[in-house]
A and B are shown apart, each in its own frame.
Chain A
Amino acid sequence: MAKIEVDGIYKIFGPKASSHLDSVKAGTSKEQLLEDTGHTLGLNDINLRIEEGELFVIMGLSGSGKSTLIRHFNRLIDPTAGTIRIDGEEIIALKQADLIERRRNKMSMVFQRFALFPHKTVLDNVGYGLHIQGVAKNAAREKAQYWLEQVGLKGVGDQYPHQLSGGMQQRVGLARALATDPDILLMDEAFSALDPLIRKEMQDLLMQLQQRLHKTIVFITHDLDEALRLGNRIAILKDGALVQQGDPQDILLNPSTDYVAAFVRDVNRGKVLTAHHVMAMPLATLTTRTSVEKARQWMVDQGFDYATVLEGKSLVGIVTLNDLQQANGEIGSLVKNVVCVPESADLESLLPQMIRENVPLAVTSDEGEFKGWVSRDRVVDLVSTDLPKESTGS
């Protein structure tokens, strides 16, 4: 069971929303509906599964309905039709008192324009969620202080929001959302109002926190680079309807419609894709204890020029068939070292090494485990979007 299950959500804005539901279900377009009835189609048959602990990005341009959609999760907006279940519980049917209870304990929200309380100190802002739950003042302050430190804002607790810069204000917003220890974090264009450097800082902060906290995060953005950078999975919204969902490389490499394709065309793939995305599993692997004769025989049979040599799960290097021809004993002494790169390295950082020497790079996980190879052809192929097609044509 997914953490958040969204089924058939429709949202029509206007005085007689539900009476136009059938025509929308029958396929009336957003423009048509607006022209005929003056009603705005906000969301059109949204179905999503958001898994526990995942950072799920909902991306779309302004007017695509992304902010409307995220407000359905905590019912700041009620749908015209459809259901949303969180941990299997029907959210749309909740009574007011239960809804308030869920908002207090299960989810919290970070806003685009920060939406801090201007009349409260930073510390009281962070402790707001606890305060309205009736947590004792000292306990709330202590917790607020802790979360303030977690977002890197020590010592500003007694100041007022307007005394802080935009980036600091959003850190307060993030701390306020985390202070109630919710399962789900709803982030509505949380970093969109910040300038690029600060935005990157905040993205890093969010990813750091997420590595420790493993919240389920629903993140709204209009910035594809941000979406690709943060998201475990991405859903793209256009005119209130889902166009595509998938993991970042899926979106990038296999755009399902022209709309998505146009979107991803200008993305700097070298920055977004990492070694993990392009690596290939080794075809031939040997261990250091294999005898030279056996290895030679096996490689000749299989038609390999070289083989990967492993010691347990970690990489030792490669042996080439040439070297094996004139040797005997164990292959350990014939192994050549290779350049290793971490799985999380982006492709742009691999390029210099790949240009210097035309050998594949080995990819290892953070723990040093061998994962696979990155070849120059594959990287060039992915980084330059249009080039390969032209070169194969000529």
Chain B
Amino acid sequence: MAFLETSKLTKRFAGLLAVNHLDLTVNDGEVLGLIGPNGAGKTTVFNLIAGTIPATGGKVIFRGEDISRLPPYQVARRGIIRTFQLNTVFPDLSVTENVVLGSHLQARTGFWGELFKMPATRRSDREIAGRAEQLVASVGLLRQDMDKRQALASNLSYGQVKALTLAIALAADPKLLLLDEPMTGVGVRDVPRLLNLIREINGRGIAILLIEHNMKAAFEVCHRIVVMNHGDKIAEGTPAEVKDNPDVIEAYLTKDGHGA
């Protein structure tokens, strides 16, 4: 059975058909790449799956459950955690605080427990803080100078911000990660490190749906790739199959400049 499945997923913005009857399947444990020229509708697909915007038509099925009408926090509760192109971390909060926020769903106490500082709350907070420390280290963030974990997220370098983005998402204990262009803006030397990190996350049994503009990176890390153009799925297959598909070459050539 498919892990995540969209059937005839459609989004129309006024006159623009952003996503057109898209059938997409993510299998359990897989890294699926979603590529295509600018304006192909990739991020819209993420927004539809995550419940950020309502679909015009079609369905999103996750582990046998129809999640098409759920609000974003309910989708997150089911185990689908997304990242963003912008607003990837909480600025002006420390690195650790960022990761603690990612663990929101793991916290087992509510408002009254926190107001009255119940022992269960303190225990839960301690556990979460401990896990946050581990996660910060596990994404290779600031291993050299641990003091900086108290540093504000806004002071990190671009590559470090990307790593922190992943740490926040991992803290939410995802079953499926939706990564929106994790390589964009990352220095050339950091790309292999991020790829390794994505592979390692996948190795923990987390399925990944990945939007990426860096073709070389996408072909390297994805098991399968879906290519979109103007809201339509134009190709699907292994990286090797997709690379030589004439429709894909055509789509990229007419848009010029996004191939790598």
- A and B form one complex: no
